[in-house]
Amino acid sequence: MKALLAGLSAIALFAMPAAHADEDDHFEGLPSETLQEAVSNLDAYTALLETALAGEVDQEAMMDIHELSYTLENAVQRLSAEIEALAEALEEVHLASEQWDDETVKAQGEVFTSGVRTILPR
């Protein structure tokens, strides 16, 4: 009986992605509307993932990991967009410094340093 249940559980586990592929849309994860939200979600949900990975990754844990991955994906997407914006701000600082354009250096420097300090607080 235990062998039969184990076999059925294994079949269900492998069949689940195909059977529920269209239903995955119901998981949205927490949004990361701002850089601060992205950093916070990335920190909190990475800790949850670490905890899940430290234990037995059974069917229940796999579903938890699957669900929390949506929040992590949202955070990483926001972080990626923010890093791109920081790179653009830094390039503006670089180009403005070559032209002795102190207003642009100060304005874009603030954009850059503020973003970096959100990601890497002192």
Say what the pLDDT of residue 5 is.
Answer: 35
Crossing angle for the helix pair 59-98 and 35-54, to the nearest 10 degrees = 140
Question: How many CB atoms are closer than 10 A to CB 31?
Answer: 13
Say what the pLDDT of residue 103 is.
Answer: 98
Question: How many CB atoms are closer than 10 A to CB 14?
Answer: 10
Report CA-CA distances (Å) from 84 to 34, 52, 116.
Answer: 14, 31, 12
| Per-residue pLDDT of the chain in tens (122 residues, 90 and over written 9) | 444 334 433 333 343 343 344 455 567 899 999 999 999 999 999 999 999 999 999 999 999 999 999 999 999 999 999 999 999 999 999 999 999 999 999 999 999 999 999 999 88
- Nearest of 82, 89, 87 to residue 32 by alpha carbon: 82
Report CA-CA distances (Å) from 76 to 11, 19, 116.
Answer: 33, 28, 15
Say what the pLDDT of residue 122 is.
Answer: 84
Say what the pLDDT of residue 21 is.
Answer: 42
Say what the pLDDT of residue 25 is.
Answer: 56
Structure-token match 């850059």, residue found: 112
Q: Is 56 helix (H, G, I), strand (E, B) or coil?
A: coil
Say what the pLDDT of residue 17 is.
Answer: 42
pTM: 0.73
